[in-house]
């Protein structure tokens, strides 16, 4: 079974931008049921279908498959829940780990999150200076939740 073990954090400041180059990403959801999320994503000029199972802590089963870009675009436009998630994804290497920083636009404009995938829930984690508060267990920050309750609607 493929497992995703991921921690998610808010960002402090803009110093992460110095080494980052991003790709535009659009994603939408065919199913938003927490136990079986089905997502369509385009990143750059590639398309992906992702199926995620129920979370246990910061782990959950995940299956991801590359699909034709044009098919992904059509599914995003015709089949996915609204609003779509629009963001730039930046990949930053730090101490042997790849951090993915997502800068959101559209309905979730103003939100910037970093996530890192781990081999084990017990892995020690070196933190870049720009990592802020951990939000791994706060479901509001999941992309699927941002479709139902976009960041712009949160009270600050």
Joined tokens for residue 99: 């951090």
Per-residue pLDDT tens digits for 16-73 = 998 788 999 999 999 999 889 999 999 999 999 999 999 888 889 999 999 999 999 9
Ramachandran region of residue 137, left (φ > 0), alpha (ψ -120 to 50) or beta?
Answer: alpha
b/e code 53-73 from CB counts within 10 Å (16+ = b)? bebeebbbebeeeebeeeebe
For residue 122, the model assigns a pLDDT of 83
E strand intervals along the chain: 3-11, 22-31, 37-43, 46-52, 59-67, 85-94, 97-105, 112-117, 131-134
Q: Which helix (H) or strand (E) holds 78?
A: helix 69-78
Q: Model pTM?
A: 0.92
Domain-wise residue ranges, the chain: 3-153
Per-residue pLDDT tens digits for 60-83 = 999 999 999 999 999 999 999 999
Residue 29 a catalytic site member:
yes
DSSP 8-class letter at 84: P
Task: Enter the CATH code of domain 3-153.
Answer: 2.40.320.10
Q: Which of 29, 63, 90, 151 is catalytic?
A: 29
| Closest by Cα among 62, 64, 61, 59 to 118 | 59
């Amino acid at each position: 079974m493929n497992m995703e073990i991921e921690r998610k954090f808010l960002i402090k400041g803009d110093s992460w931008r110095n080494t980052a180059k991003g790709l535009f990403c659009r994603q939408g959801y065919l199913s938003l049921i927490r136990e079986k999320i089905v997502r369509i994503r385009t990143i750059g000029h590639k398309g992906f279908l992702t199926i995620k199972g129920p979370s246990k802590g910061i782990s959950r089963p995940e299956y991801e498959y590359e699909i034709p870009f044009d098919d992904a675009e059509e599914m995003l436009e015709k089949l996915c829940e609204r609003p779509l998630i629009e963001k730039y994804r930046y990949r930053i290497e730090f101490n042997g780990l790849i951090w993915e920083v997502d800068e959101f636009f559209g309905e979730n404009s103003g939100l910037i999150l970093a996530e890192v995938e781990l081999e084990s829930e017990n892995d020690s984690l070196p933190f870049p200076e720009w990592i802020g508060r951990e939000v791994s267990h706060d479901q509001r920050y999941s992309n699927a939740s941002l479709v139902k309750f976009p960041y712009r609607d949160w009270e600050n």
